[in-house]
C-alpha cells in the first residue's frame, strides 16, 4: 500500500507527518531543529529518502541540512552562498540601489534525475545549484542579468521563492521572485529572460505593464502540460498557455484574487487550487471563512471548498510554499496555516480535516507519495 | 585548552554541550580562537561570523571575563584567564522575546 509523507517547515522547526494511503491516521514526528526557522524541506524525486532542509535564523544565519534516511538523521552540509563576481545592485524599498546580500534559502528544487543535484532559491534573489548534495553551492548569475538592477523587495524580502523544472526538457527552468516577476531559461539556467507580459500591477508599479517588478507569489505547473503555467500574483490569478510568453487573468468569480499559493491536481491538469486572502494589508481569509477555491476549468470558474474548514472567526494566512498535492487517486491536497494547522483533503478538496493543529506558524508544506 | 560557551542553538547544531574545550595555538586572539572553533566544528562556519568577510553576525556578542569584547580588534590578545582556560569565552546571542 502507498504511504504519504508530509514535510513541514515552520517558524520553530520542521515536522514530518506520515500516513498510509487512506490518509486518515497521521503520525507526527518532530520538531526537527527546534527553535530554528525552517523555510523549506523537500525530497529528491529520484531518491525519496534524500531530504534537504533550509534551517535559518536571524541570529545565526543559514544552515543547510541533508538527510539520507528520510529525516531520521541529518547532517549539516555547505552553507556558503557566495554571489558570482562582484555583487551588483538592486533596488531597495526606498528605490536606492543596494548590493546583493545573502540572507537565507527560501526554497529547494531537487533535480528530477540526480539526487545530488539541487537548486536553491535565495534572498536576496538569486538561483544557486549544488552538484554534490549540498556540500558546495554555485550561483547561476545569468538570472541577475535579467534586469536585476530593477528588482526590489516585496514585504517578505527580495526572495526567489519558486523554481520549476520542465520534466520534458531539463534545460527549461522557470523561477519567480517577489517583487521582480517570473523568469525563464532555455539553457539550464545560464541565461534568462523576464516572462511577465500580460501581468498588470496597477496599484504597485508606476508602469503597471512593466517588464519586471511584478510581485509574483507562486507559480504551478502540471507535468503533463508544461507549457501551461498558473500564477498567484499579489493581486490576480493568472494563466499562461505558452510557457510564460504571455499571461491572462483567470480570477473569475473568486471572492478575492489576492493570495499566496497555487497548486495543480495531480491527475487533472486543468484542476487548480487557490486560497483567497482578503487583501495585501489584511492577510487573512475574507469574512473569517477559510475556503479553498477549486477550478476544474483551468480558471475563471471557481468553486468554494468549505467542508471541514472553519467558516467563522478564522484569521490565519496560508503562505506561498504551504500548499502541495500527493499523487494518489483520489488526489490529496494539503496546506498549512500561520496558525499552525495543517489541513488535508483525501478527495481532491471536497472535504477537509486538520491532521495537526497546534504547530508553530507553517512556512512550507511538501508531500511525498511513496509506494 | 580554551573554554568556549556557546548559545543554545549553536551547541545543539554542533551536538556538544553548552561549554566546549578547544585547542588554540598561541597567540590566542579572538580570530585564532574562532578559526580553531570552526576547524573543529565546521558546521558552525557562517553562524557566528561571515564566511568571507569574517565579520561578526549582528546579533552575536563575545564576552571575556565579564567584558564585552565584541568591538575590540579581532587580532588583539585575549585575557590571560581565557588563554589559560580559567575563564570561558562566552559567545552570546542577542536576547529575544519581550
**Given B8, B13, B51, which is nearest A76 (Cβ)?**
B13
Confidence at residue B90, expressed as pLDDT on a 0 to 100 scale: 98
pLDDT exceeds 60 at position B93: yes
Binned at pLDDT 50, 70 and 90, residue A87 comes out as confident
Confidence at residue A94, expressed as pLDDT on a 0 to 100 scale: 87
pLDDT exceeds 80 at position A203: no
Q: What is the mean pLDDT of residues A53-73?
A: 97
Question: Which residues in B lie closer than 8 A to residue A60 (C-beta atoms)?
Answer: 7, 9-10, 13, 47-48, 57, 60, 93
Taking only residues 23 to 62 of chain A, the set having a beta carbon closer than 8 angstroms to any beta carbon of chain B reads 34-36, 57-62
Nearest CA to CA, how far is A213 from chain B (Å)?
A: 30
Domain ranges across chain B: 2-93
Task: For residue range A184-201, list pLDDT tens digits in order.
Answer: 999 999 999 999 999 998
Strand B2-5 to strand B89-93: parallel, antiparallel, or no bridges (unpaired)?
Answer: parallel
Nearest CA to CA, how far is A54 from chain B (Å)?
A: 13
A-B contacts at Cβ under 8 angstroms: 44
Q: Which of B13, B42, B70, B96 to probe the A interface (max A CBs under 10 A)? A: B13
Where does B2-93 sit in CATH, by number?
Answer: 3.10.20.30
User: How far is C-alpha B38 from the geometric centre of its chain's CA atoms?
Assistant: 9
pLDDT exceeds 60 at position A98: yes
Q: What is the mean pLDDT of residues A26-41?
A: 98
Q: Which of A59, A80, A84, A128 to probe the B interface (max B CBs under 10 A)? A: A59
Q: What is the mean pLDDT of residues B49-71?
A: 95
Confidence at residue A193, expressed as pLDDT on a 0 to 100 scale: 97
Binned at pLDDT 50, 70 and 90, residue A93 comes out as confident
Residue A345: which residues within 8 A CB-CB, separation 6 or more?
A292, A305, A308, A332, A333, A334, A351, A352, A353
Percent pLDDT > 70 in chain A is 100
Widest Cα–Cα separation across chain B: 41
In order, the DSSP letters of A157-178 are BSEEEEEEEETTEEEEEEEEEE
pLDDT exceeds 90 at position A155: no
Task: For residue range A249-279, list pLDDT tens digits in order.
Answer: 999 999 999 999 999 999 999 999 999 999 9
pLDDT exceeds 80 at position B96: no
Binned at pLDDT 50, 70 and 90, residue A367 comes out as very high
Binned at pLDDT 50, 70 and 90, residue A13 comes out as very high
Binned at pLDDT 50, 70 and 90, residue A134 comes out as very high
Residue with cell 526590489: A152
pLDDT exceeds 60 at position A106: yes
Q: What is the mean pLDDT of residues A336-346?
A: 98
Q: What is the mean pLDDT of residues B7-34?
A: 97
Cβ atoms of residues A218 and A238 within 8 Å: no
Residue of B nearest to A36 (CA): B9
Bond from prior residue into B27 cis (ω within 30 degrees of 0) = yes
Binned at pLDDT 50, 70 and 90, residue A1 comes out as confident
**Given A60, A79, A80, which is nearest B10 (Cβ)?**
A60
Contact between chains at A60 and B9 (C-beta distance less than 8 A): yes
Give the predicted TM-score (pTM) of the model.
0.96
Bond from prior residue into A179 cis (ω within 30 degrees of 0) = yes
pLDDT exceeds 80 at position B17: yes
- Number of C-beta neighbours around residue B51 at 10 A: 17
For residue A13, give the C-alpha cell: 522547526
For residue A319, give the C-alpha cell: 503562505
**Given B12, B46, B94, which is nearest A79 (Cβ)?**
B46
In order, the DSSP letters of A281-304 are SS-S-GGG---EEEESSSSSS-EE
pLDDT exceeds 80 at position A231: yes
Percent pLDDT > 70 in chain B is 97
Q: Which one is predicted more confidently, A5 or A207?
A: A5
Which string of b and e fits A251-279 if b means at least 16 CB within 10 Å?
Answer: beebebbbbbbbbbbbeebbbbbbbbbbe
- Number of C-beta neighbours around residue A319 at 10 A: 25
What does pLDDT average to over chain A? 96
For residue A323, give the C-alpha cell: 500548499
pLDDT exceeds 70 at position A207: yes
Confidence at residue B98, expressed as pLDDT on a 0 to 100 scale: 55
Output the CA torsion sign for B38, B40, B42, B47. Answer: negative
Residue with cell 500561520: A338
Contact between chains at B59 and A58 (C-beta distance less than 8 A): yes
Contact between chains at A82 and B51 (C-beta distance less than 8 A): yes
Three-class SS of residue A310?
Answer: coil
**Given B8, B51, B96, which is nearest A80 (Cβ)?**
B51
B91 bridge partner residues:
B62
What number is the ipTM of this complex?
0.92
Q: Where are the beta strands (DSSP E) in A206-270?
A: 216-221, 229-233, 237-240, 248-249, 262-264
For residue A101, give the C-alpha cell: 546580500
Cβ atoms of residues A221 and A184 within 8 Å: no
Confidence at residue B97, expressed as pLDDT on a 0 to 100 scale: 62
Task: For residue range A287-338, list pLDDT tens digits in order.
Answer: 999 999 999 999 999 999 999 999 999 999 999 999 999 999 999 999 999 9
* Backbone phi and psi for residue B27, each to the nearest 5 degrees, phi listed first: -75, 140
Percent pLDDT > 90 in chain B is 93
Dihedral in degrees, nearest 10, Cα atoms B40, B46, B50, B56: -80
- Number of C-beta neighbours around residue A92 at 10 A: 13
Amino acid at each position: 500500500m502507498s504511504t504519504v509523507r508530509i514535510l513541514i517547515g515552520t517558524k520553530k522547526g520542521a515536522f514530518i507527518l506520515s500516513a498510509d494511503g487512506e490518509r486518515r491516521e497521521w503520525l507526527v514526528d518532530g520538531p526537527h531543529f527546534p527553535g530554528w526557522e525552517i523555510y523549506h524541506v523537500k525530497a529528491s524525486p529520484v531518491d525519496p529518502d534524500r531530504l534537504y532542509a533550509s534551517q535559518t535564523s536571524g541570529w545565526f544565519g543559514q544552515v543547510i541540512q541533508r538527510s539520507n534516511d528520510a529525516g531520521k538523521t541529518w547532517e549539516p552540509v555547505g552553507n556558503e552562498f557566495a554571489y558570482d563576481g562582484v555583487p551588483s545592485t538592486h533596488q531597495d524599498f526606498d528605490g536606492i540601489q543596494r548590493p546583493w546580500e545573502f540572507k537565507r534559502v527560501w526554497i529547494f528544487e531537487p533535480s528530477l534525475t540526480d539526487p545530488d543535484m539541487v537548486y536553491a532559491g535565495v534572498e536576496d534573489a538569486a538561483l544557486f545549484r549544488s552538484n554534490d548534495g549540498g556540500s558546495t553551492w554555485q550561483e547561476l548569475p545569468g538570472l541577475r542579468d535579467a534586469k536585476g538592477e530593477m528588482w526590489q523587495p516585496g514585504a517578505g524580502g527580495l526572495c526567489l521563492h519558486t523554481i520549476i523544472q520542465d520534466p520534458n526538457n531539463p534545460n527549461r527552468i522557470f523561477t519567480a521572485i517577489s517583487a521582480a516577476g517570473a523568469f525563464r531559461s532555455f539553457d539550464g539556467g545560464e541565461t534568462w529572460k523576464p516572462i511577465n507580459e500580460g501581468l498588470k500591477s496597477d496599484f504597485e508599479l508606476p508602469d503597471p505593464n512593466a517588464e519586471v517588478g511584478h510581485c509574483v507569489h507562486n507559480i504551478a505547473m502540471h507535468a503533463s502540460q508544461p507549457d501551461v503555467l498558473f500564477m498567484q500574483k499579489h493581486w490576480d490569478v493568472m494563466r499562461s498557455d505558452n510557457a510564460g510568453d504571455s499571461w491572462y487573468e483567470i480570477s473569475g468569480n473568486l471572492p478575492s484574487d489576492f493570495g499566496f499559493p497555487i497548486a495543480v491536481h495531480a491527475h487533472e491538469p486543468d484542476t487548480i487550487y487557490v486560497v483567497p486572502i482578503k487583501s495585501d494589508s489584511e492577510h487573512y481569509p475574507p469574512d473569517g471563512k477559510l475556503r479553498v477555491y477549486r477550478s476544474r476549468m483551468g480558471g475563471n470558474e471557481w468553486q468554494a471548498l468549505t467542508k471541514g474548514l472553519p467558516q467563522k472567526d478564522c484569521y490565519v494566512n496560508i503562505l506561498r510554499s504551504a500548499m502541495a498535492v500527493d499523487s494518489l487517486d483520489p488526489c490529496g491536497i494539503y496546506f498549512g496555516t500561520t496558525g499552525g494547522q495543517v489541513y488535508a483533503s483525501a478527495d481532491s478538496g471536497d472535504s477537509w480535516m486538520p491532521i495537526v493543529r497546534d504547530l508553530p506558524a507553517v512556512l512550507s508544506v511538501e508531500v511525498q507519495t511513496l509506494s | 585548552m580554551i573554554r568556549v560557551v556557546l548559545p543554545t542553538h549553536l551547541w545543539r547544531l554542533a551536538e556538544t554541550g553548552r561549554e566546549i574545550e578547544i585547542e588554540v595555538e598561541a597567540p590566542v586572539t579572538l580570530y585564532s580562537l574562532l578559526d580553531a572553533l570552526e576547524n573543529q566544528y565546521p558546521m558552525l562556519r557562517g553562524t557566528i561570523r561571515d564566511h568571507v568577510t569574517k565579520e561578526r553576525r549582528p546579533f552575536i556578542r563575545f564576552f571575556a571575563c565579564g567584558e564585552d569584547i565584541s568591538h575590540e580588534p579581532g587580532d588583539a590578545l585575549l585575557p590571560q584567564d581565557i588563554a589559560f582556560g580559567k575563564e570561558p569565552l562566552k559567545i552570546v546571542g542577542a536576547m529575544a522575546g519581550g
